[in-house]
Every structure is written in C-alpha cells, then in structure tokens.
Structure 1
Amino acid sequence: MQKTNINVDFGNILKKTRETRKMTQEEFAEFCNVSRAYYGRLERGENSITLDLCNKISQALGISIAALFEDLP
C-alpha cells in the first residue's frame, strides 16, 4: 500500500480549484485573503492548512468546508 501525503493531496485540490477558476496563485491568494507565498506553500503541500483558512477559502468560493475535502483519497 502506497503512503500518501494529505498535505500534497489537499494542495492538488486547491490547485485544481484555482485552475478551474482560471486564476493565478496570486489572484487566488488575494481572493482568499492570504499571502501568495503562504498559498503557494499550501498548494505544494509544504504546509498544513488550518480550519480557519479552510473556512476563509470555502466562504470565498461559496462552498461548504466539507466540499473542499470531497476528493481526498
């Protein structure tokens, strides 16, 4: 069984969401009210996301927090 990294998996979800909206990392970070550098680290799976930031992102996108996690393996 292959071990997965949940931070990388979640970062891929964020990247897919951003690309679907045709936004740059900078635009999406500003949209979610976080720094571009921090958002980039989240997208690459280098940092763990907080529930507070999940809430900010879901509110900015107009979706539930649970929807952010639907595609996690």
Structure 2
Amino acid sequence: MDLKEVMAINLRRLRHAKKMTQEELAELAGLSARYIGAIERADVSARVTVLGRIADALNVEAAELIRRTTPGNRTEDS
C-alpha cells in the first residue's frame, strides 16, 4: 500500500470518527470538498502544509494521517 492509499484510509477513518462530512472538513481546513474527496480516493497526495491544515481541522496530529497500521490496528513500528 502506498502513502496516498494510507492517507486516504486514515483521513476517511478520522473524518468518520469525528462525524464530519467532507464539506465540513473542507470548510474547517480552508480547502474544497472536491480536494478532500480526491485525497480520500487516493487520486492525489496532499502536501505537508495541507496535511497540517487537515490535521488541525480534525484536531489530531498530522502523523495520524500518514501512520501505517496493521490489521490489528497497531502501528507497524510498535
């Protein structure tokens, strides 16, 4: 799985956990809902500055957006 796919899965998971729509997240992050959707589909890879804005909007650390997890929901480095 490449980084775009990891980011897509994590973004969708975190956004759903916060019960936010793509539109709500986009508004808080100052981005377009279309761009959020493209990230969630792994069509695009977000720049570091954009990851920071999304992380701030979700109230999580930016690392949460790119952390690779194993099936047991543990990080690969733990």
The Cα shift of 1:12 comes to: 0.8
Unaligned runs of 5+ in 2: 70-78
Aligned to 1:15: 12
Give me the whole-angstrom Cα distance separating, in 1, the residues matched to 2:6 and 2:59. 21
Unaligned runs of 5+ in 1: none
Letter in 1 for 2:56: Q
The Cα shift of 1:68 comes to: 2.5
Kindly, what percent of the aligned residue pairs are identical?
30
Q: Alpha carbon RMSD of aligned pairs, Å? A: 1.5
TM-score normalised by the chain length of structure 2: 0.76
Of 16, 37, 40, the residue aligned with 2:37 is: 40
Q: Which has the higher contact order (CA 8 A, sep 6+)?
A: 1
Of 35, 52, 55, the residue aligned with 2:52 is: 55
Q: Number of residue pairs matched?
A: 69
- Helix, strand or coil: the match of 1:55? helix
Q: Is 2:4 aligned against 1:27?
A: no
Give me the whole-angstrom Cα distance separating, in 2, the residues matched to 1:60 and 1:22. 13
TM-score normalised by the chain length of structure 1: 0.80
The Cα shift of 1:33 comes to: 1.2
- Helix, strand or coil: the match of 1:47? coil
